[in-house]
A and B are shown apart, each in its own frame.
Chain A
Amino acid sequence: MRIAIALMLFGAAALSAAGSAAGRDAVSTKPAGHTVTMEATSFAPVVLTIRQGDSVTWVNKDPFPHTAASGAAGFGSPIILAGKSWTHTFEKKGEFDYVCTLHPTMKAKLRVK
């Protein structure tokens, strides 16, 4: 009887531990969404750190078009009109500088971990 109870407790504890681990993994590996604002001819935040598989949405709050592009990172938005947005998912790790191709002073950095 004592053995049976011990086995049941062990089994319950093991199941519970497995459940927590699975829960943690599910939370930590779920891709997240991030937002970069394009306003006053600047990106905000200027430096954004994300995880591999996350997506970033660029939202244009200026009254004129912008883009977000990086040759090194292999992404380039189409022209994002005033009030519009564009989303891209990042599968490649690295640290990438990107620019608005229409406004050479508009620069930012993306870190994909």
Chain B
Amino acid sequence: MRIAAIALFTVLAVATAAPAQSINDAQIAAIVVAANQVDIDAGELAAQKSTNSEVRKFAQTMVNDHTGVNKTATELVTKLKVTPQDNPTAQSLRKGGDENLAKLKSLSGAAFDKAYIDHEAAYHQQVLDALDKTLIPSAQNAELKALLVKVRPAFVAHLEHARQLQRSLSGN
């Protein structure tokens, strides 16, 4: 878990630390799609594999919400005629997501739930940092920026929900 968390931090720290002007809207679009897809994939696995009803409910919310955001983002960039441009941050997000999935597939029961929820809490915190420090400030198109601002509170809600589950799973 610690290695996965460090890898995630490193990936998003790159996006966070990079100068705002170094990321264009096409790259932001690719990062948004990758960030959502990573969480959809983990959510689909957890919704199927977890034996805890609250964890399954959370996982299904992640699938629904991030699928909705990706659909809206894709429709917007299509309308704006922006082709998502793959970049190291998006690639690293996908790589980190794959590593997380591989780890989760090796676990079961309470260990699976804890690993999934711990990762969700860390992931949403890092995505929020990236949104605040890089993605929103860097977005040039007003509609793209507005979409990022509009979906940000959902990430806050997800983070709070994940933290509630962390407390619940640890018995606090």
Give residues in A with beta carbon < 8 Å to B: 39-42, 62-65, 82, 102-106
- Could you list 10 A-B pairs, sorted by A, with CB under 8 Å? A39-B150, A40-B151, A42-B153, A65-B64, A102-B61, A103-B157, A104-B160, A104-B161, A104-B164, A106-B157
Contact A103 B150 (CB under 8 A): no
**CB <8 Å contact, B157 and A105:** yes
Q: If the complex has contacts A103-B161, A104-B160, A104-B161, are A62 and B154 also in contact, measured as CB distance less than 8 A?
A: yes
Tell me which residues across on chain A come within 8 A of B61, comparing CB atoms: 102-103
Closest 10 CB pairs of A and B: A64-B68, A41-B153, A63-B68, A63-B72, A103-B157, A64-B65, A105-B157, A41-B154, A40-B150, A40-B153
- Where chain A touches its partner, the secondary structure class is loop
New contact pairs (12) apart from A40-B152, A105-B161, CB-CB < 8 Å? A39-B150, A41-B153, A41-B154, A41-B156, A62-B151, A63-B69, A63-B151, A82-B68, A103-B161, A104-B160, A105-B157, A105-B160
Interface-central residue, A64, A65, A82, A102, by most chain B CB under 10 Å: A64
The yes or no answer to B105 lying at the interface (CB within 8 A) is no
Q: Specify which chain B residues have a CB less than 8 angstroms from the CB of A82 in the assembled complex.
A: 68
- Which residues of the other chain, A, contact B68 by a CB distance below 8 angstroms? 62-65, 82
Provide the B147-172 mask, 1 if CB < 8 A to any CB of A, else 0. Answer: 00111111011101100100000000
- Determine which residue in B64, B66, B152, B156 has the highest number of CB atoms from chain A within 10 A of its CB, and name it: B64
Taking the closest CB of chain B, its distance from the CB of A99, in whole angstroms, is: 11
User: Could you tell me which residues of chain B, from 83 to 117, have a CB within 8 Å of some CB in chain A?
Assistant: none
User: Could you say which residues of chain A place their CB within 8 Å of the CB of B153?
Assistant: 40-42, 105
Q: Which residue of A lies closest to B155 (CB)?
A: A41
